[in-house]
């Protein structure tokens, strides 16, 4: 089944073609317009999607060497996300589906992240625990059977990616924060400054990152401005280590609690190289099977939406034209 995926939930305009479990193309354009504001401006985001989406779909078809009429089904993000941005993707998807007389399905963006790796399409990898660490969410999800999700842990305040973005701002590293903190941390010692790890009592599967962010802020405010700049890589490395330690500890706990031997990582924060290495080492030590999306499939992209759509469409699910965007859709 050749599926066209469309993702416009935030500031990435993306279209992808997926055939079976293979990705034929996955075009992602990032909107530079938000950089000077230090965060995503919703109105600019929807306008940029309007300008770019048809071109991005054309590029996805061209790269996959397929024609629009080859498409057998469509999948689009219906939420959670920015209302105006979601509506652009949803309207274009409905228009193409109507013109081609093909089935289509609205997909939960978080489910897209969970199903970004090819392994998750396979019933053999169930049951598994998925750690979703993105800019908007930090969740531990128990996936007993395909497409059945039970949230067993979540952040009580900031998401992990949000903490990276806020700490980047505090350290004057700019936007987007995650990659910049990672870059700065390369020159630092992760043990030089010890930042707090929250909610570590043994029965908790929840996360809290706002205290960690505040600890970084107080540390920076108390520094002599002359040494502050030299300390930045150590602060970035200490912060990054604290996030990674907590994510690993809670994932192991969830695996134990729900008797799972398979861990799936998902979301933009999983692009972080020290995090990927630390999870690989830990899972090897504990004899846990680990699945991680390729870096470009961690951050927002349409291939993950097409993959999730394919799984649902193959089970006979379709959406109707009355389906609306849901900015606060939960998993």
- Quote the CA–CA distance of 43 and 256 in Å, as a whole number: 44
Regarding 79 and contact with ligand KG4 (CB under 6 A), the answer is: no
- Quote the CA–CA distance of 263 and 285 in Å, as a whole number: 13
- Which one of 300, 301, 307, 313 is in contact with Zn ion (CB under 5 A)? 300
Regarding 112 and contact with ligand KG4 (CB under 6 A), the answer is: no
Q: Is 115 left (phi over 0), alpha (psi -120 to 50) or beta?
A: alpha
DSSP 8-state secondary structure symbol assigned to residue 277: H
Q: Which stretch binds ligand KG4 (CB under 6 A): 60-68, 133-141, 202-210, 257-265?
A: 133-141
Cα dihedral 91/95/100/104 (nearest 10): 20
Which residues have C-beta within 8 Å of that of residue 74, sequence separation ≥ 6?
Answer: 3, 4, 5, 6, 93, 96, 97, 102, 103, 104, 105, 309
On whether the CB atoms of residues 234 and 193 are closer than 8 A, the answer is: yes
Question: CB of 137: closest distance to ligand KG4 in angstroms?
Answer: 7
Regarding 271 and contact with ligand KG4 (CB under 6 A), the answer is: yes
On whether the CB atoms of residues 136 and 80 are closer than 8 A, the answer is: yes
Q: How many residues sit close enough to Zn ion to count as binding (CB under 5 A)?
A: 2
Burial class (CB in 10 A: 0-12, 13-18, 19+), 16: buried
Q: Which is nearer to Zn ion, 134 or 138 (CB)?
A: 134
Kind plus residue range of the DSSP H or E element containing 4: strand 2-7
Question: CB of 263: closest distance to Zn ion in angstroms?
Answer: 19
Omega before 269 cis (within 30°)? no
Q: Which stretch binds ligand KG4 (CB under 6 A): 178-186, 210-218, 254-262, 308-316?
A: 178-186
Helix (H, G, I), strand (E, B) or coil at 154: strand
Q: Which is nearer to ligand KG4, 3 or 266 (CB)?
A: 266
What the block records as the tokens of 172 is: 């004057």
Regarding 84 and contact with ligand KG4 (CB under 6 A), the answer is: no
Regarding 108 and contact with ligand KG4 (CB under 6 A), the answer is: no
Regarding 42 and contact with ligand KG4 (CB under 6 A), the answer is: no
Regarding 238 and contact with ligand KG4 (CB under 6 A), the answer is: no
| Helix extents (H) in 153-209 | 160-170, 177-185
Residue 179: contacted member of ligand KG4, Zn ion, none (CB under 5 to 8 Å, by partner type): ligand KG4
Question: CB of 274: closest distance to ligand KG4 in angstroms?
Answer: 9
Regarding 162 and contact with Zn ion (CB under 5 A), the answer is: no
Kind plus residue range of the DSSP H or E element containing 187: none
Q: Which stretch binds ligand KG4 (CB under 6 A): 123-131, 175-183, 257-265, 314-322?
A: 175-183
Q: Which is nearer to ligand KG4, 81 or 153 (CB)?
A: 81
Regarding 134 and contact with Zn ion (CB under 5 A), the answer is: yes
Question: CB of 113: closest distance to ligand KG4 in angstroms?
Answer: 6
Question: CB of 198: closest distance to ligand KG4 in angstroms?
Answer: 18
Q: How many residues sit close enough to ligand KG4 to count as binding (CB under 6 A)?
A: 19
What residues make contact with ligand KG4 under the rule CB under 6 A? 134-136, 161-162, 164-165, 176-179, 182, 267-269, 271-272, 299-300
């Amino acid at each position: 089944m050749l599926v066209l995926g469309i993702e416009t939930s935030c500031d990435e305009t993306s279209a992808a073609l997926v055939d079976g479990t293979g990705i034929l193309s996955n075009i992602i354009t990032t909107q530079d317009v938000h950089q000077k504001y230090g965060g995503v401006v919703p109105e600019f985001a929807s306008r940029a999607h309007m300008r770019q989406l048809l071109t991005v779909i054309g590029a996805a078809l061209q790269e996959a060497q397929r024609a629009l009429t080859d498409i057998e089904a469509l999948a689009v993000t219906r939420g959670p996300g920015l209302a105006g941005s979601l509506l652009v993707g949803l309207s274009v998807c409905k228009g193409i589906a109507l013109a081609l007389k093909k089935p289509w399905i609205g997909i939960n963006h978080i489910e897209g992240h969970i199903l970004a790796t090819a392994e998750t399409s396979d019933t053999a990898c169930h049951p598994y625990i998925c750690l979703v660490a993105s800019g908007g969410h930090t969740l531990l999800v128990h996936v007993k059977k395909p497409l059945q999700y039970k949230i067993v842990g979540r952040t009580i305040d900031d998401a992990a990616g949000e903490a990276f973005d806020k700490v980047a701002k505090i350290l004057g590293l700019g936007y987007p924060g995650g990659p910049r903190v990672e870059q700065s941390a390369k020159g630092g010692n992760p043990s030089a400054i010890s930042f707090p790890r929250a909610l570590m009592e043994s029965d908790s599967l929840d996360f809290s990152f706002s205290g960690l962010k505040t600890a970084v802020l107080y540390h920076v405010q108390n520094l002599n401005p002359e040494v502050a700049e030299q300390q930045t890589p150590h602060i970035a490395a200490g912060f990054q280590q604290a996030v990674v330690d907590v994510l690993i500890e809670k994932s192991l706990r969830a695996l134990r609690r729900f008797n799972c031997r398979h861990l799936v990582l998902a979301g933009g924060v999983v692009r972080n190289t020290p995090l990927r290495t630390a999870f690989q080492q830990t899972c090897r030590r504990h004899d846990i099977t680990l699945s991680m999306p390729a870096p470009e499939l961690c951050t927002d992209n349409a291939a993950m939406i097409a993959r999730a759509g394919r799984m649902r469409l193959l089970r006979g699910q379709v959406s109707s034209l009355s389906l609306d965007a849901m900015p606060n859709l939960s998993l």
